[in-house]
């Protein structure tokens, strides 16, 4: 079989990558053992060196040294780096977005949106730099003041996943920097080039505002590199985004050295559709959440729990929409679903579908791999499968576009089904009945970190805290008061009287 089309296409993509890197201010890295591939053709774009153990150690040392001064820079001044980063990201939004498309396979609109999310979190962090509020509480003792102050924590180790190669880094880094922390970043081994670009942009931002560029360090390579970061007691916070399996390895190691962990792990997100739902709006919400990013978002909709009375018409609409979705090269105009990241992802999808069908599932549409010249690239049609029950395969996260549909008769049973999985990231209810909506949001409703009404499970805004419960890891990143994880809290009691009263009225004379 000839691979001429792929070879030609890959050559073009290589040239495009080199140009993008240049325009982003990244020098072509020296060749090495780490392979940067594109899921568009499945081929290698460029190779680069992985960090060895000494390089990881040196990066942590540099970050720890930089922290000693950075923590004393006033937070609003620290924000100058983030402000400059936002300006550079705005100027390079198209180039960085294109690099995300090349490396992660996201369609243009989503890749650009990911860069927009970086700019949004920078803006949030700039404002936050003047709002790192501590509380003052009434002291029980006369002539005393009781208060909390928040201080920089130290070196933050950021471990990120392939599917949000740049936004998750920005969520962590923009907030960590204004909080006075320094960062060592271990990106996914599948997306080293976007990492190089972000690293360069940030260091340039620091230099341009006269700050120390050593506040950010980049280490590249496989999981073992991440493990070294996880085990190093100079790393005060390990913020790790990825699979539950990764979190299960990382969390106990960080706990063993009494470090702090922020885990953003897998999801198995569901939407409940009630009889009163607006089916047009629901269909649009579901199709974007389930098929967008080729099912490779942590918040991808994977389970649909639909009332039996509307299951027929809803599934008809979804399958009609699925049949119209253009799957293909994410650089092409009009394509809505790009490739899976690699063959392993495709194998995972195929085996999950086989198991679902063996469990009595009925494949309504999709699931097939699209034939093309690129035998190393994996393009699939999003699958819709009607399941008789929530079997083991439905309770697992398969990182591919499979939507399992289940039916219900009673809302309490639907909520039980909804919560009956080990993960707890994102959730939705589609309804026009306020009682049902409130029931879903109540304490005995959805058990997820994100619970939405009449919008899909994916596509969170940065203003809210992002994260999930149970096996999703319990971490919160991005907006709201997530910054508190990146700082340490001190409780201060100041005695401005001439007496020394003890708390709880204790007399010690
Ligand atoms: P992955 O777990 O394979 O890898 C994620 C990162 O962890 C990579 O950088 C990897 O090198 C590193 N890693 C793996 N094992 C490690 C270890 N033992 N010690 C230290 N580092 C280690 O995940 P992936 O395939 O890149 O991404 C997909 C997964 O990430 C999905 O499960 C998805 O749901 C999840 N995810 C979660 C969120 C969230 O915010 N909850 C966001 C994006 C992705």
Task: Establish if 502 belongs to a structural domain.
Answer: no
Residues 146 and 253 grouped into a single domain: yes
* CB-CB contact of 342 with 378 (8 Å): yes
CA within 13 Å, CB half, 107: 20
For residues 182 and 317, membership in a common domain is answered with no
Instruction: Decide if 497 is inside a domain.
Output: no
Q: 436: buried, middle or exposed (CB in 10 Å: 19+, 13-18, 0-12)?
A: buried
Nearest atom, ligand 1, residue 468 CA: 41
Give nearest CA residue, ligand 1 atom 19.
227
CATH code: domain of residue 384: 3.40.309.10
Q: Indicate whether 257 and 294 sit together in one domain.
A: no
Query: Looking at ligand 1, which residue's alpha carbon is closest to its atom 1?
Result: 242
Q: Is residue 468 part of a domain?
A: no
- List phi, psi (to 5°) of 97: -60, -45
Is residue 442 in a domain?
Answer: yes
Render pLDDT for 325-375 as a digit per residue (tens, 0 to 9).
Answer: 999 999 999 999 999 999 999 999 999 999 999 999 999 999 999 987 689
Least confident of 5-19, 36-50, 363-377, 473-487: 5-19
Do the domain assignments include residue 3?
Answer: no
Q: How confident is the model at residue 36 (pLDDT cuts 50, 70, 90)?
A: very high
Nearest partner of 124 among 500, 489, 487, 461, judged by Cα? 461
Say whether pLDDT at 82 is over 90.
yes
Angle of the 93-104 helix axis to the 108-128 helix axis, nearest 10: 120
In the predicted model, is pLDDT for residue 2 greater than 60? no
Q: Are residues 451 and 478 in the same domain?
A: no
Range of the domain at 80: 9-265+473-489
Express each pLDDT in 270-316 by its tens digit.
999 999 999 999 999 999 999 999 999 999 999 999 999 999 999 99
331: nearest Cα among 16, 8, 117: 16
In the reported structure, the alpha carbon of residue 357 is separated from the centroid of ligand 1 by a whole-number distance in angstroms of: 28
65 in the same domain as 119: yes
Q: Is 362 one of the catalytic residues?
A: no
| pLDDT per residue as tens digits for the range 231-277 | 999 999 999 999 999 999 999 999 999 999 999 999 999 999 999 99
What is the Cα–Cα distance from 24 to 359, expressed in whole angstroms? 49
Which letter does DSSP use for residue 336 in this model? Answer: -
Q: Among 119-128, 218-227, 364-373, name the one with the lowest average pLDDT.
A: 364-373
Q: How many domains does the chain have?
A: 2
Regarding whether 293 and 184 lie in a shared domain, the answer is no
Instruction: Let me know if residue 457 belongs to a domain.
Output: yes
Gap between the Cα atoms of 379 and 369, Å rounded = 6
Distance CA 25, CA 179 (A): 27
- Residue 276 sits in the same domain as residue 299: yes
Give Cα 325 to chain centroid, integer Å: 25
pTM to 2 decimals? 0.97
146: domain CATH number is: 3.40.605.10
Q: Which of 103, 264, 397, 477 is catalytic?
A: 264
| 423 occurs within a structural domain | yes
Q: Whose CA is nearest to atom 39 of ligand 1?
A: 264
Tell me how far apart the alpha carbons of residues 386 and 302 are, in angstroms, rounded to a whole number: 12
Residues at CB less than 6 angstroms from ligand 1: 159-164, 186, 188-189, 222-223, 226-227, 230, 241-243, 246, 249-250, 264-267, 298, 397, 399, 425, 472
Answer whether residue 2 is part of any domain.
Answer: no
Mean pLDDT of 464-469: 98
Question: What whole-number percentage of the chain has pLDDT above 70?
Answer: 99
Contact 72, 182 (CB under 8 A): no
Q: Cα–Cα distance between 371 and 385 in angstroms, integer?
A: 22
pLDDT of residue 1: 34
> In terms of domains, do 251 and 333 share one?
no
């Amino acid at each position: 079989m000839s691979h001429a089309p792929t070879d030609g296409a890959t050559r073009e993509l290589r040239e495009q990558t080199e140009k993008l890197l240049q325009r982003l201010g990244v020098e072509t890295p020296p060749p090495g053992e780490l392979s940067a591939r594109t899921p568009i053709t499945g081929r290698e774009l460029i190779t680069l060196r992985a960090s060895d153990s000494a390089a990881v150690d040196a990066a942590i040392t540099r970050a720890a040294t930089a922290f000693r001064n950075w923590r004393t820079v006033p937070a609003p001044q620290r924000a100058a780096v983030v402000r400059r980063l936002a300006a550079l990201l705005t100027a390079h939004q198209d180039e960085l977005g294109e690099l995300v498309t090349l490396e992660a396979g996201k369609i243009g609109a989503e890749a650009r949106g990911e860069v927009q999310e970086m700019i949004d979190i920078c803006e949030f962090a700039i404002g936050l730099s003047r709002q790192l509020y501590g509380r003052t509480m009434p002291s029980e003792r006369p002539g005393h003041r009781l208060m909390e102050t928040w201080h920089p924590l130290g070196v933050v180790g950021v471990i990120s996943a392939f599917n949000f190669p740049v936004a998750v880094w920005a969520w962590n880094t923009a907030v960590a920097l204004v909080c006075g922390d320094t960062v060592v970043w271990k990106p996914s081994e599948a997306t080293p080039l976007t990492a190089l670009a972000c690293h360069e942009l940030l260091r340039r931002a620091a230099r341009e505002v006269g700050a120390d560029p050593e506040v950010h360090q980049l280490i590249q390579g496989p999981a073992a590199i991440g493990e070294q970061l996880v085990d190093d007691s100079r790393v005060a916070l390990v913020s790790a985004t990825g699979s539950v399996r990764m979190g299960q390895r990382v969390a106990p190691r960080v706990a063993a050295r009494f470090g702090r962990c922020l885990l953003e792990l897998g999801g198995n997100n569901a939407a409940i559709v009630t009889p009163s739902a607006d089916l047009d709006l629901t269909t649009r919400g579901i199709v974007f959440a389930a098929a967008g990013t080729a099912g490779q978002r942590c918040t991808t909709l994977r389970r649909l729990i639909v009332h039996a009375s509307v299951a027929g018409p809803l599934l008809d609409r979804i399958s009609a929409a699925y049949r119209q979705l253009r799957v293909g090269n994410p650089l092409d105009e009009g394509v809505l679903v790009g490739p899976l990241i690699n063959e392993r992802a495709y194998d995972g999808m195929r085996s999950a579908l086989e198991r679902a069908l063996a469990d009595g599932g009925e494949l309504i549409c999709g699931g097939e791999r699209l034939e093309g010249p690129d035998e190393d690239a994996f393009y699939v049609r999003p699958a819709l499968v009607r399941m008789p029950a929530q079997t083991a395969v439905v309770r697992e996260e398969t990182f591919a576009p499979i939507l399992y549909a289940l039916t219900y008769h009673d809302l309490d049973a639907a909520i039980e089904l909804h919560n009956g999985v080990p993960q707890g990231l994102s959730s939705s209810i589609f309804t026009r009945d306020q009682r049902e909506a409130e029931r879903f949001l109540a304490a005995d409703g959805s058990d997820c970190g994100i619970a939405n009404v009449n919008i899909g499970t994916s596509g969170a805004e940065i203003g809210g805290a992002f994260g999930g419960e149970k096996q999703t890891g319990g971490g919160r990143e991005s907006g709201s008061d997530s910054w508190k994880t990146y700082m340490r809290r001190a409780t201060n009691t100041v005695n401005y009287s001439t007496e020394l009263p003890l708390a709880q009225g204790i007399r010690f004379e």
